[in-house]
């Protein structure tokens, strides 16, 4: 049975109950679906009792809800940019019916820069039975432009305007017949909080009247009226202002792991550019540098990407530009790789052989920047293996890429204590650049033939590098050279002094003199370098001649046997000699005949070999009655190093 109905007479009737039979009892049954067992007598009729309702008219008044939209600077935004709408409806507590009405769209008010929702009045004539009908917007939504990040009833952190300019209204529920009767109220920061439904759509807070039997949700803070048992109206007590925060493109600078780094000069980590229109295009303010320095670190541009997730492939243009997608994927992240400074160091002396006690013209320490990061700090000092026989430099003369030529004075104390010398650069040494540091004024002293090491350490933002070179004290008897490739390092001279002319064949020994092999206490030697395992040695003697005479080609140079030795760590302070045995007896005839001295592969296992000829065994054999008084005879010994298969 219906709770109520309107009859053909236009009157409304309210259900009171029902009874079986002909006599109305004092208490009626109130179930809406009468059912009973038939007694098969004249008392089985159903009687349903309705009562004519006392009707009352209720008017829920029209109201205009005003909305303002505030930008970050505190200015009202053109309301036409926002789509405001309200879905109207009603719910009848008596019948449980819910009805939806046409949607109401917000109306722009250009003069005041506000937007309004005009809620029409609703008139109800219904029984005065305590039941309630509720009317109002069941949803109020606003669509914001996509270049805004959020909308809020309270100022956002980006807001820079006057925070007192736009007061927050409260939701107030009043009696309609007695407006001074405030049923309840709700603070505006709660009442007008919005719920985000999509990237740009937000809805107003919804709730229901506690006495409403249908518990239907309404945007009560905007408008909600009840008629019947309660006759109330809920509305804001002022204009509702919402604060808009723009979307932003944030600029990030990170290393390859994603960690934030110090940005290049002219850029700011986390710099934000305001997205202020639907047609906004992000473009970096200036080109990103390919390489830059921040403190002691150098960074090299790897590329950039849009959004939050680093892709497998970066964009490599140095002027990032893109159209935002108006979501949370509009940041620009520039990726840089920290360049690790690297360098190479060499040390080269002006000469390989030096007179004992002489000053080396220079030791050139050459530092080359082999990386992509500039070298910013440089210090040079001797290592612990700098030979005691090499004195401290008095000056370091510096030339280099992008540097002014400079001379840095050096004290003995600086050098010998290892304090070293800091080289002040006019500007960082760029990638591919080099710096020459010439150490001047180093006196070299030692024993004849001794090898001394100059060893330096250069430190800086590239770490620590060492380099060394050697110098040999000049031999007392023979010149020592450094051949390129296979060849002779030193060859002996054979000086027999003044000889008497004899009527018979004679053999003469080498002259005795303090400055010639120490009066015979040292031996003439042959020193050679070969990288081949297959090598042999021959020698030839030319015919001795003077300016006007010559000795016969039967003249012979008797060298005897030579003691052979090999070198380990040649030209190093740790240089050692290992005996290998002796050659066969060597006799050279002055007719340029090649005579074997060392057979192929007779001596192996090294690159440097020496043959020592015993001073006392070396003889010049001259036939009888040869030579002229007062003549100086010279001949050449040609040594032939044969290498290969």
CA distances from 212 to 14, 88, 252 (A): 20, 17, 54
81 three-class SS? helix
8 three-class SS? coil
- Give CA–CA dist 395/418, Å, rounded: 15
pLDDT tens-digit profile of 230-271? 899 999 999 999 999 999 999 999 999 999 999 999 999 999
Output the six-digit token pair for 109: 């008010």
79 three-class SS? helix
Report pLDDT for 308.
Answer: 95
Per DSSP (E only), the strands in 43-200 are 46-52, 55-60, 63-70, 83-92, 98-105, 107-109, 114-119, 122-127, 132-143, 148-152, 171-175, 182-186, 194-196
Q: Under a CB-based contact definition with an 8 Å cutoff, are residues 402 and 429 in contact?
A: yes
Output the six-digit token pair for 605: 């296992």
575 three-class SS? coil
Residue 265 contacts by C-beta under 8 Å, 6 or more apart in sequence? 292
Q: Which of 443, 507, 511, 442 is nearest to 477 (CA)?
A: 511
Q: Which of 528, 537, 527 is nearest to 600 (CA)?
A: 537
**Considering the entire predicted model, what is its pTM?**
0.66
DSSP, res 209: -
- Give CA–CA dist 457/477, Å, rounded: 35
Q: Under a CB-based contact definition with an 8 Å cutoff, are residues 254 and 335 in contact?
A: yes
Q: Under a CB-based contact definition with an 8 Å cutoff, are residues 157 and 213 in contact?
A: no
pLDDT tens-digit profile of 453-507? 999 999 999 999 999 999 999 999 999 988 778 999 999 999 999 999 999 999 9
Regarding the domain delimited by 343-473, which CATH topology (the fold level of the hierarchy) does it fall under?
Answer: Immunoglobulin-like (2.60.40)
Q: Under a CB-based contact definition with an 8 Å cutoff, are residues 397 and 407 in contact?
A: yes
| Helix ranges (DSSP H) in 445-578 | 517-520
Q: 10-residue block means of pLDDT along the chain (645 residues)? A: 85 88 92 92 91 89 98 98 98 89 97 98 91 95 98 97 97 92 93 97 92 85 92 96 98 98 98 97 97 90 98 98 96 97 97 96 98 94 97 98 97 94 95 97 96 97 96 94 89 96 96 96 97 95 97 98 96 94 98 97 95 98 96 98 86
Task: Supply the CATH classification number for the domain 248-339.
Answer: 3.10.20
DSSP, res 268: -
Query: 């906004």: which residue's tokens?
Result: 280
Q: Under a CB-based contact definition with an 8 Å cutoff, are residues 133 and 229 in contact?
A: no
77 three-class SS? coil
Residue 37 contacts by C-beta under 8 Å, 6 or more apart in sequence? none
- Give CA–CA dist 429/423, Å, rounded: 12
Query: Rounded to the nearest 5 degrees, what angle is found at the Cα of 222, between the Cα atoms of 221 and 223?
Result: 100
Q: Under a CB-based contact definition with an 8 Å cutoff, are residues 115 and 142 in contact?
A: no
DSSP, res 22: S
- Give CA–CA dist 635/55, Å, rounded: 152
Q: Max alpha carbon distance in the chain (Å)?
A: 189
Per DSSP (E only), the strands in 247-388 are 248-254, 271-274, 282-283, 291-294, 297-306, 321-322, 332-339, 343-349, 353-354, 359-360, 363-369, 378-382
- Cβ neighbour number for residue 278 with a 10 Å cutoff: 11
- Give CA–CA dist 384/566, Å, rounded: 29
- Give the helix/strand (H/E) hosting 508: strand 506-509
Residue 25 contacts by C-beta under 8 Å, 6 or more apart in sequence? 19
Residue 417 contacts by C-beta under 8 Å, 6 or more apart in sequence? none
- Cβ neighbour number for residue 406 with a 10 Å cutoff: 14
Q: Which of 467, 407, 401, 398 is nearest to 434 (CA)?
A: 401
Output the six-digit token pair for 196: 């985000």
Q: Under a CB-based contact definition with an 8 Å cutoff, are residues 253 and 261 in contact?
A: yes
80 three-class SS? helix
Q: Which of 479, 471, 423 is nearest to 447 (CA)?
A: 471
Torsion of CA 545, 546, 550, 553, to 10 degrees: -20
Per DSSP (E only), the strands in 266-358 are 271-274, 282-283, 291-294, 297-306, 321-322, 332-339, 343-349, 353-354
Q: Under a CB-based contact definition with an 8 Å cutoff, are residues 71 and 191 in contact?
A: no
Residue 610 contacts by C-beta under 8 Å, 6 or more apart in sequence? 525, 526, 527, 528, 564, 565, 566, 567, 577
- Cβ neighbour number for residue 296 with a 10 Å cutoff: 10
Query: What's the count of helices (H) and strands (E) in the chain, helices before strands?
Result: 3, 50
Query: Rounded to the nearest 5 degrees, what angle is found at the Cα of 440, between the Cα atoms of 434 and 444?
Result: 125
- Give CA–CA dist 364/398, Å, rounded: 10
Domain definitions of the chain by residue range: 4-53, 56-245, 248-339, 343-473, 487-643
């Amino acid at each position: 049975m219906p709770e109520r109905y309107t009859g053909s007479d236009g009157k409304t009737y309210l259900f009171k109950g029902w009874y079986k039979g002909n006599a109305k009892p004092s208490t009626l049954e109130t179930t809406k679906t009468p059912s009973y067992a038939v007694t098969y007598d004249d008392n089985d009729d159903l009687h349903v009792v309705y009562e004519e309702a006392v009707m009352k008219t209720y008017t829920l008044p029209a109201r205009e809800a005003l909305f303002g939209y505030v930008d970050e600077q505190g200015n009202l935004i053109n309301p036409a940019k926002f789509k405001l709408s309200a879905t109207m409806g009603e719910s009848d507590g008596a019948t449980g019916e819910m009805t939806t009405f046409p949607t109401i769209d917000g109306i722009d008010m250009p003069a005041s820069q506000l937007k309004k929702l005009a809620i029409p009045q609703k008139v109800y004539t219904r029984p005065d039975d305590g039941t309630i009908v509720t009317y109002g917007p069941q949803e109020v939504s606003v669509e914001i432009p996509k270049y805004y990040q959020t909308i809020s009833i309270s100022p956002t952190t980006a807001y820079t305007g006057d925070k007192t300019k736009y007061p927050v209204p409260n939701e107030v529920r009043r009696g309609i017949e007695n407006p001074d009767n405030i049923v309840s109220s709700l603070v505006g920061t709660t009442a007008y909080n919005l719920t985000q439904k999509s990237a740009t759509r937000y809805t107003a807070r919804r709730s229901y009247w506690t006495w409403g039997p249908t518990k239907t949700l309404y945007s009560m803070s905007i408008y909600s009226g009840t008629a019947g048992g309660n006759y109330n109206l809920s509305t804001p007590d002022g204009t509702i202002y919402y604060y808009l925060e723009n979307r932003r493109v944030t600029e990030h600078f990170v290393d390859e792991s994603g960690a934030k780094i110090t940005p290049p000069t002219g850029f700011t980590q986390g710099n934000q550019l305001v997205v202020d229109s639907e047609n906004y295009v992000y473009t970096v303010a200036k080109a990103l540098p390919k390489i830059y320095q921040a403190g002691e670190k150098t960074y090299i541009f790897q590329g950039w990407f849009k959004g939050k997730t680093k892709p497998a492939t970066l964009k490599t243009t140095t002027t990032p530009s893109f159209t935002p997608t108006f979501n949370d994927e509009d940041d620009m992240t520039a990726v840089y790789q920290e360049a690790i400074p690297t360098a190479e160091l060499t040390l080269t002396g002006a000469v390989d052989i030096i007179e004992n006690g002489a000053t080396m013209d220079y030791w050139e320490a050459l530092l080359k920047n082999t990386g992509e990061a500039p070298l910013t700090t440089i210090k040079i000092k001797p290592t612990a293996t700098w030979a005691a026989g090499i004195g401290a430099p008095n000056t370091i003369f510096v030339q280099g890429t992008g540097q002014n030529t400079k001379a840095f004075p050096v004290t003995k104390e600086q050098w010998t204590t290892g304090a070293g010398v800091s080289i002040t650069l006019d500007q960082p040494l760029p990638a591919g650049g080099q710096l020459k540091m010439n150490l001047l004024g180093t006196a070299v002293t030692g024993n004849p033939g001794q090898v001394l090491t100059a060893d330096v350490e250069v430190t800086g933002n590239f770490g620590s590098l060492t380099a060394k070179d050697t110098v040999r004290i000049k031999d007392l008897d023979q010149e020592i050279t450094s051949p390129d490739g296979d060849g002779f390092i030193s060859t002996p001279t054979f000086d027999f002094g003044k000889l008497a002319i004899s009527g018979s064949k004679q053999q003469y020994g080498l002259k005795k003199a303090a400055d010639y092999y120490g009066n015979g206490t040292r031996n003439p030697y042959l020193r050679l370098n070969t990288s081949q395992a297959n090598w042999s040695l021959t020698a030839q003697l030319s015919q001795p001649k003077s300016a006007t005479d010559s000795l016969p080609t039967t003249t012979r140079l008797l060298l005897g046997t030579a003691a052979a030795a090999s070198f380990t760590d040649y030209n190093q302070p740790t240089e050692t000699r290992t005996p290998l045995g002796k050659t066969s007896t060597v006799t050279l005839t002055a007719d340029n005949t090649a005579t074997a001295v060392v057979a192929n592969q007779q001596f192996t296992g090294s690159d440097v070999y020496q043959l020592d000829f015993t001073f006392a065994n070396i003889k010049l054999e001259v036939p009888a009655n040869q030579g002229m008084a007062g003549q100086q005879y010279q001949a050449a010994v040609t040594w032939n190093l044969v290498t290969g298969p």
